[in-house]
Amino acid sequence: MIDVQDLSKDYVQKRKDPGLRGALKGLVKPERKLVHAVRDLSFLIREGEIVGFIGPNGAGKSTTIKMMSGILTPTKGRVLIDGRDITRYRKEVVRNIGVVFGQRTQLNWDLRLGESFELLKHIYQIDQSDYDRTLDELDQILGIKEIIDKPVRQMSLGQRVKGDLVASMLHSPKVLFLDEPTIGLDVSAKFALRKFIKEINRVRKTTVILTTHDLGDIQELCERIIIINHGVMMEDGNLSQIVDRIAPYKTLVVEYYDEAAPEHPRCEMILHDGNVAKYRFLKNDITAADIIADLSKTASIKDVSIEEAGIDDIIKIAYGA
Amino acid sequence: MGKVFRELIHYMDVTAQVIKMAVMTIIEYPSNIVGWMISNPLQFIMGFAIIKFVVESFGEINGWNYGQLAFLYGLSVISHALSMIFFVQGWFMGYYVIDGDFDRYLTRPLGVLYQFFFTNINIFGVTDLIPGILVFIYGCVKCEVTVNLLFIVQVVVILIGATLIRGGIYILLGSTSFHTRSAVDFGQYTQEIMDKTTMYPLSMYPESMQFILTYLIPVGWISFYPVSALLGIDSAYNAVLVPFITLGVGILVMIVAGVYFDVGLRKYESAGN
């Protein structure tokens, strides 16, 4: 479906020394520095996958997704969508993709939402019957018809993002690119957006590629994640497998009746605060039940809970924190 | 051939929709209309009043009499108005480059330049058209031109060529932003230069400048040469041929501008989130 081959993007950055002197120097003899925003990315995405790109700000996620959607021209390498190079055959290939960039809108600010849809109907040459059917279908997921007559400038961010999502799906693209789609949204709007992504993926088999900083997005949506940092791919694979590999531990939280919390030979006690103690243990080494059994021999336990290592640990590692 | 035809139909269909939306946008903000309806025509009527005053005081400008000057001025304002309708967005190209606003055009199955200009089509430019047409008709009457089919074709050809030259120049200047990565609002400067070189006879400028304005920045072809030929002011110019040279120059400038734009677009960096 999507074949990314040796994708690289360099920027020329003009370096400027501080102050007026630096500004003058930059004018006469500019110092140019080559920045490798993305370096030699290669991966394959199959039809119907939901892939999350994660990494810190400036890691190259947006640059990558913009090259994949035909916005930026790669310095090296290429992106094939259904076997066609998107840079070379932009106009044909983009018919198969939809793009939503969190803070930007492709909707006409001054007119009612429906007018923007109407324009897209003409741009993508969508049959009236296909258009009506798609709109009905999307309306069932997002309830877009409630706001279709509202001018875009009067919409809340959540409504506008809904509008943008529907706008990007009207021509039934095979691939949907989302660059930080949930940024700035409230909980219910986030929930609606995630439901939408899951639904179109399930019903229409739309391949979804998104970048996000939101742990909830990743947890809810992505089976597969690609971690990028400094323009280089750090990880690519199944989310739970990556979690298991990078953070193969769980944490047992035990509340005792008194303050004497015993140690356990196969756990690391990472916190002991009053009646509460936290034990970190390797998932493959020992089970929580065994630990509880051992601990209850020497102390009386009031309550226990288990914390899974999760994406936040992965992100901390990926971001080098 | 069938493919080209289908493409053309597609673009025309989108254009009709875009114009419809532009009109709806104007209706959305009715108070703007009044302002433009008054200030735009006024600007050009005043310009023409100055010419009238100058000519009446001195008899003529560089061998051009009053009627001929009106003809030149009118034709120039009409092509200016047309370029304002279709190409004014070129003035602001730098801001689009800096703000990453080309993103959405690049993800749609239409030409980027087409979308840039036509989804921002400026229907208000029509308000410039009115004074242009009035002064032009006045010039035609004063010069006693015979209006036949050939004349109409010549005028239309000149206007298309002139509009393309203006638009091409806007694109060329705007596309420099891809390389400099800075937004310069050069609209005002180009406007000044274009006004002064197309609304008055080019022959009143020094020869070196005439050379530049003929071959390097071919604004001479917007109005001066075709009108000189059409009115027989300079017998060196063939009246039938010159309008088509204007069209040719227009197409050439547009092609060069398009290529330069495409080169720039490859360097387009979008904008960070």
CA distances from B259 to B168, B212, B253, B265, B266 (A): 11, 22, 10, 10, 11
What CATH number is given to the structural domain containing A278?
3.30.70
Q: What are phi and psi of A187, to 5 degrees?
A: -60, -45
Q: Do A156 and A305 share a domain, yes or no?
A: no
d(CA A284, CA A245): 11
Mean pLDDT of B30-53: 77
Decide if B270 and A122 are in contact by the 8 Å CB cutoff.
Answer: no
Distance from CA of A173 to the nearest CA of B (A): 12
Residue A237 domain flag: yes
Q: Do A293 and A228 share a domain, yes or no?
A: no
Decide if B270 and A66 are in contact by the 8 Å CB cutoff.
Answer: yes
pLDDT at A321 exceeding the cut of 60: no
Residue A20 domain flag: no
Residues A251-279 pLDDT 10s? 899 999 988 888 888 888 888 888 899 99
Distance from CA of B6 to the nearest CA of A (A): 11
Tell me the average pLDDT of chain B. 89
Domain boundary among A210, A243, A276: A243
Mean pLDDT of B56-68: 81
Q: Do A260 and A236 share a domain, yes or no?
A: no
Chain A positions contacting chain B at CB under 8 Å are 11, 58, 62, 66, 69-73, 90-92, 94-95, 97, 99, 101-104, 106, 108, 110-111, 115, 118-119, 122-125, 151, 179-180, 183
pLDDT at B127 exceeding the cut of 90: no
Decide if B106 and A92 are in contact by the 8 Å CB cutoff.
Answer: no
Helix (H) or strand (E) holding B138: helix B126-143
How much is the pTM? Answer: 0.86
Domain, as residue range, for A234: 2-7+39-243
Residues of A in contact with B270 (CB under 8 A): 62, 66, 71-72
Categorize the per-residue pLDDT at A91 as very low, low, confident or very high, splitting at 50, 70 and 90: very high
Residues of B in contact with A149 (CB under 8 A): none
- Nearest Cβ partner for A71 among B25, B106, B111: B106
Q: Lowest mean pLDDT of A86-90, A175-179, A285-289, name the range.
A: A285-289
| Number of compact structural domains in chain A | 2
| Encoded amino acid at A175, one letter | V
Q: Do A294 and A157 share a domain, yes or no?
A: no
Distance from CA of A72 to the nearest CA of B (A): 6
Decide if A108 and B273 are in contact by the 8 Å CB cutoff.
Answer: no
Q: Do A182 and A237 share a domain, yes or no?
A: yes
Q: Do A304 and A178 share a domain, yes or no?
A: no
Which of A9, A92, A104, A183 to substitute to test the interface with B, most B CBs within 10 Å?
Answer: A104
What was the ipTM of the complex prediction? Answer: 0.86
Categorize the per-residue pLDDT at B166 as very low, low, confident or very high, splitting at 50, 70 and 90: very high
Q: What is the DSSP letter of B214?
A: I
d(CA B6, CA A314): 51
Decide if B25 and A73 are in contact by the 8 Å CB cutoff.
Answer: no
Q: Do A277 and A220 share a domain, yes or no?
A: no
Categorize the per-residue pLDDT at A320 as very low, low, confident or very high, splitting at 50, 70 and 90: low
Decide if B273 and A101 are in contact by the 8 Å CB cutoff.
Answer: yes
Residue A197 domain flag: yes
Decide if B107 and A104 are in contact by the 8 Å CB cutoff.
Answer: no
User: How many beta-carbon pairs under 8 angstroms link A with B?
Assistant: 78
Which of B7, B25, B108, B262 to substitute to test the interface with A, most A CBs within 10 Å?
Answer: B108
**Which sequence spans correspond to the domains of chain B?**
2-266
Domain boundary among A243, A277, A309: A243
pLDDT at B273 exceeding the cut of 60: no
Q: Do A218 and A142 share a domain, yes or no?
A: yes
d(CA A210, CA A181): 8
Chain A residue with Cα closest to B106 = A71
Domain boundary among A243, A275, A309: A243
Chain B residue with Cα closest to A37 = B269
Residue A297 domain flag: yes
Q: Do A150 and A253 share a domain, yes or no?
A: no
Q: Do A215 and A306 share a domain, yes or no?
A: no
Categorize the per-residue pLDDT at B114 as very low, low, confident or very high, splitting at 50, 70 and 90: very high
d(CA B151, CA B153): 5
Q: Do A173 and A234 share a domain, yes or no?
A: yes
Q: What is the DSSP letter of A150?
A: S
B18 touches chain A (CB under 8 A): yes
Q: Do A158 and A270 share a domain, yes or no?
A: no
Decide if B17 and A122 are in contact by the 8 Å CB cutoff.
Answer: yes
pLDDT at B13 exceeding the cut of 80: yes
d(CA B9, CA B36): 33
What pLDDT shows up at residue B192? 82
What pLDDT shows up at residue A133? 95
B126-139: burial string, b at 16+ Cβ within 10 Å, e else = ebbbbbbebbbebb
What CATH number is given to the structural domain containing A216?
3.40.50.300
Residues A20-66 pLDDT 10s? 877 787 777 777 888 899 999 999 999 999 999 988 888 899 999 99
